[in-house]
Amino acid sequence: MKKSKNSSIPTLSFLPAALVPRTQGTALPSEAQACYTLGDQWLEDNRADEALRAYDHAIALQPGYVDAHLSRTNALLRLQRAAEALANCERTVAIAPTLGLAHYNHGAVLEGLGRAEEAERSYRLAAQYEPDSAYTHFALGYLLLHQNKRQDAMACMNRVLELEPQNAQALINRGQAYMEMQQDELAFADFNQALRINPHLAEPRAQVSILLRKHKRHKEALQQLQAAWRANSQMPGLLTDMMSVMTDMCEWNSLDEGLRRIDTAVAQAQPGVSPFKVLGLRDSPELQLQAARNEVVVSASGQLPIGPCSVRAGTPGKIRVGYYSADFRHHATSILMAQLFELHDHERFEWFAFDFGPLQEDAMRERVRKTFDHFIDVRGHSDRQVAKLSRELGIDIAVDLKGFTGDNRFGIFAFRCAPVQVSWLGYPGTTGADFMDYVIADKVVLPPELQPYFSEKAVYMPHSYQCNDAHRRIADRVFTRVEQGLPETGFVFCCFNNNYKILGSVTNLCW
């Protein structure tokens, strides 16, 4: 997602500009407003160093000149001097404490520095002082959505759409919030409305494709992704999404070129190449490791560390183990693990579940919840907040059951939520992360000779890494060939995996 391109929204950029060398001998006007005007012109011409000099002179002539302070922040960011930009924002807020734009700028710089909680406070102040500012509500909603505060994010996008009904990006963001909350019809409606406003957008088509795949409408999903590709072939994730849908449909005859592009994208560390999808598309341990490492860079980017996380040395009591998942419900993960949870040793260990999945009250969720000493709903918490909570609770061993699968919260582990962090079950590949210490495996899913392609230390189970529930009943019904659409006679070759795990012999057809 990107912030709205509406021209009314202030632009604060951390990107370097093409700078013209400062002309130290250029005389500056003796009036503050003239200096400020000249500074804005230089900034527009990508002469950020000269613009900064003009703003500084304007402020020297008129210390309380708010507009000059606001523009000075932008010049400093263009010069990649973020710490000075933040200090300048703080001075601007002190000069104009009720000016919404001053708080907005402060929030934007904090957000760029990875200080999301502080940025949220600044954006909320900006919205308080300027309640009709669409760009402020948009920025706050965008931040909240990425902090997993979906209800609050949705309220912000609702306000943006009250003020700007044709804001397609606000519809896309609200649609994503609906989608993450499993409200698929409302998500469809928002994405489709965004496309009615601007049919050339790639992002809503990519989001619609996710929903279509969820409802087994693979052909339509592929059509949406192909249209998105035509609109913006550089959009992160489109390539692997298209390849993945093709394998869902067993459309193997046009994969060759796409697979070569994936190899190039991984080698060049292009964003949006899903490690999970690479696992199913490329039988290359080297490529899978590199794809995971690339993803880690994205997951951990802009996140401020929260200090060292050490073992509770000499602390008496039980060892505290936390499981982190979105799947404590009727889902394959819990179907496999339910009995294991029930067999946990509560004499020597204290068991925690950190649940960030959809609120799905069913029999499996109730069964699983009873097995834990503590079952904690962290759906409304940011990754950083979950990591801090884990530390406060003294979690000794954190077990990630998601890896790079859907609805994962890998950022929690990037913040180091426990002294020992383990990857297990949901993602059978390497995470490529130096902050994941172990992976639970077996010698089939991770042959010893492939350990160099895993960043984690392997903990081998004696038989299989995959636990299962011995209490699950085997159906006693005998199914007929006819009701399965099979011929009455003949040998039937079966594979009970998802289609994407099968690759046929591919040929190079025209892309």
Structural domain includes residue 15: no
Structural domain includes residue 250: yes
Examine the domain organization and report whether 510 and 446 are in the same domain. Answer: no
Structural domain includes residue 125: no
Examine the domain organization and report whether 346 and 391 are in the same domain. Answer: yes
Structural domain includes residue 155: no
Examine the domain organization and report whether 508 and 426 are in the same domain. Answer: no
Return the C-alpha torsion angle 235, 236, 239, 244, nearest 10.
-130
Structural domain includes residue 66: no
State the residue for tokens 């527009």: 44
Examine the domain organization and report whether 455 and 487 are in the same domain. Answer: no
Type of residue found at 374? H
Q: Is the Cβ–Cβ distance between 431 and 353 less than 8 Å?
A: no
The C-alpha atoms of residue 403 and residue 275 are separated, in whole angstroms, by: 10
pLDDT at 315: 66
Full residue range of the structural domain in which residue 344 is found: 319-460
Examine the domain organization and report whether 369 and 409 are in the same domain. Answer: yes
pLDDT at 10: 56
Cβ neighbors of 175 (< 8 A, separation 6 or more) are: 186, 187, 188, 189, 190, 191, 194, 204, 207
Examine the domain organization and report whether 408 and 488 are in the same domain. Answer: no
Examine the domain organization and report whether 425 and 369 are in the same domain. Answer: yes
Examine the domain organization and report whether 336 and 290 are in the same domain. Answer: no
The C-alpha atoms of residue 377 and residue 373 are separated, in whole angstroms, by: 13
Structural domain includes residue 382: yes
The C-alpha atoms of residue 119 and residue 121 are separated, in whole angstroms, by: 5
Q: Is the Cβ–Cβ distance between 61 and 31 less than 8 Å?
A: yes
CATH number at residue 359: 3.40.50.11380
Total domains in the chain come to 2
Examine the domain organization and report whether 330 and 283 are in the same domain. Answer: no
Examine the domain organization and report whether 451 and 331 are in the same domain. Answer: yes
Structural domain includes residue 247: yes
Inter-CA distances, 463 with 93, 371, 445, 468, Å: 62, 25, 11, 12
| Per-residue confidence in pLDDT tens, the chain, 511 aa | 334 333 344 555 443 333 333 444 578 999 999 999 999 999 999 999 999 999 999 999 999 999 999 999 999 999 999 999 999 999 999 999 999 999 999 999 999 998 999 999 999 999 999 999 999 999 999 999 998 899 999 999 999 999 999 999 999 999 999 999 989 999 999 999 999 999 999 999 999 999 999 999 999 999 999 999 999 998 999 999 999 999 999 888 878 888 999 999 999 999 889 999 999 899 899 999 999 999 999 877 666 667 777 776 656 789 999 999 999 999 999 999 999 999 999 999 999 999 999 888 899 999 999 999 999 999 989 899 999 999 999 999 999 999 999 899 999 999 999 999 999 999 999 999 999 999 999 999 999 999 999 999 999 999 999 999 999 988 889 889 999 889 999 998 888 888 888 887 544 333 3
pLDDT in tens, 361-399: 899 999 999 999 999 999 989 899 999 999 999 999 999
Examine the domain organization and report whether 245 and 353 are in the same domain. Answer: no
Structural domain includes residue 13: no
Examine the domain organization and report whether 407 and 440 are in the same domain. Answer: yes
